[in-house]
Amino acid sequence: MSCDEIQKSLSLYVDDGLTPETRAVCYQHLEVCPVCRAQIADLRAIRHDLAMLSRPAPPADLISSINKALVTEASVERARRATTFGELVTTALQPRLIRYAFSSLTSLVLFSAVFLALRPHMLALHDAARAFDESSAVAGNSGNTLGVGFDINQPISPENYAALRAPFNTESPSLNPGGALATLTWEPAHLHNNGRQDDDDMVVVADVFSNGKASLADVMQAPRDRRMLADFQKALRQNAAFVPASMDRRPETMRVVFSVQRVDVHDTNY
């Protein structure tokens, strides 16, 4: 046998744990192998040193503490067996009830947050509907068909237009449907050499006052055709371009930015 095979059995050889046949094989190997004999000497020295160690004495109260632990465990086991069915059900459902309660509370908080976020819009829609009903009632009392619905053959009144824009007129003033600005149009500008009309646009700032009139305050992008700017200023000052502030329920003076673009309409059959 090789040293690797013999060394696996050396510990049992020292402790007399081998069968006579295996022990005889190990003995024959040890007679010719000094390395394995040195390992046998080391194992016997370790065994001798371990035998010389003093045996530790157990604590004096070891037996009594073990007995007390056994009595306590037996009491817990008897109490567990004596638990009623209702207590077992409650113990089993308690974690689920806690999760369900937490989920319900979270859903309630989320619903409240969404409701509070949408509440201003809901109030604005409610105010718009009420204002529209009031203006429709006034129009109906004056003989207009708007009391029961819009008449497409009749122009919309400033009161009804302001009522329709109730959710937004606190942020921007309502245009006067009969004002010069609402009916402002431009004639085709001069033609270039290529025969195409010169597209033109502008961005201006205007101050809207409590009586609905407005005035040009600043020009952010001037049009190429200066007549557009003059016509726009004239339309603002000619009459009330917007509805009064009281009708719009907005601040008395507001600043508005206009982005004006020219659109050519060739078909007039509408």
Range name among 18-22, 141-145, 256-260 with the lowest pLDDT average: 141-145
Could you tell me which residue, 24 or 131, shows the higher pLDDT?
24
> Mean pLDDT score of the chain, rounded to an integer?
76
Give the C-alpha separation, 157 to 168, whole Å: 18
- The neighbouring-strand residues paired with 215 are 207
3-class DSSP state of 221: strand
Region for 108 from its dihedrals, namely left if φ exceeds 0, alpha if ψ lies in -120 to 50, beta otherwise? alpha
**pLDDT tens-digit readout, 86-99:** 666 666 666 666 77
Give the C-alpha separation, 167 to 134, whole Å: 15
In the chain, which ranges are continuous DSSP H helix?
Answer: 3-7, 10-14, 20-32, 34-52, 62-81, 85-141, 158-164, 226-238, 245-248
Give the C-alpha separation, 93 to 107, whole Å: 21
- Beginning with the edge strand found earlier in the chain, give each strand of the sheet holding 254-261 in spatial order: 214-221, 201-208, 254-261
Across 97-101, 176-180, 205-209, the highest mean pLDDT is recorded for: 205-209
Residue with tokens 């040193």: 49
Residues 200-213 have a mean pLDDT of 85
Give the C-alpha separation, 195 to 173, whole Å: 39
Q: Any residues with CB less than 8 A from the CB of 214 and at least 6 apart, and which? A: 181, 206, 207, 208, 236, 237, 241, 242, 256
Contact 13, 46 (CB under 8 A): no
> With bands split at pLDDT 50, 70 and 90, how would you rate the model's confidence at 140?
low
> With bands split at pLDDT 50, 70 and 90, how would you rate the model's confidence at 147?
very low
Q: Model pTM?
A: 0.40
> Above 80 in pLDDT, residue 10?
yes
Percent of the chain residues topping a pLDDT of 90: 1
pLDDT of residue 145: 40
Token digits of residue 140: 């109906």
> Above 60 in pLDDT, residue 116?
yes
**pLDDT tens-digit readout, 18-77:** 888 888 888 888 888 888 888 889 988 988 888 888 877 878 888 888 988 998 988 888
> With bands split at pLDDT 50, 70 and 90, how would you rate the model's confidence at 245?
confident
pLDDT of residue 196: 45
* Eight-class DSSP state of 49: H
